[in-house]
């Protein structure tokens, strides 16, 4: 898996626009983008745009990861 930061604001605290990570498999095919904001985590499969991605609030995301 190759994960790169697409857009990174130098500040340590995540701002409203968040941080966007590009996820590719080992052959270089883009699997999607992971957007992390103050209020949610958004998975955008393939070339899906942020508004059409699957958004999860932090509480929901944490419960999914711990289950």
The C-alpha atoms of residue 45 and residue 34 are separated, in whole angstroms, by 9
- The whole-model pTM stands at 0.78
pLDDT of residue 8: 62
Burial degree of 1 (CB within 10 A; 0-12, 13-18, 19+):
exposed
Pairwise CA distance, residues 25 & 20, whole Å: 17
Say yes or no to pLDDT of 2 above 90.
no
The pLDDT value recorded for residue 18 is 83
Question: Is residue 12 pLDDT above 60, yes or no?
Answer: no
Scanning the structure block, which residue is given the tokens 């745009």? 49
Q: Domain boundaries in the chain?
A: 2-66
Which alpha helices (H) appear in the chain, and where do they start and end? 58-66
Please tell me the distance from the alpha carbon of residue 30 to that of residue 45, in angstroms, as a whole number. 9
Percent of the chain with pLDDT over 90: 60
């Amino acid at each position: 898996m190759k994960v790169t930061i697409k857009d990174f604001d130098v500040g340590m605290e995540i701002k409203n626009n968040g941080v966007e990570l590009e996820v590719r498999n080992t052959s270089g095919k883009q699997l999607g983008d992971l957007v992390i904001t103050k209020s949610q985590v958004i998975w955008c499969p393939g070339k899906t745009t942020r508004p059409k991605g699957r958004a999860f609030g932090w509480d929901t995301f944490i419960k999914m990861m711990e289950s």
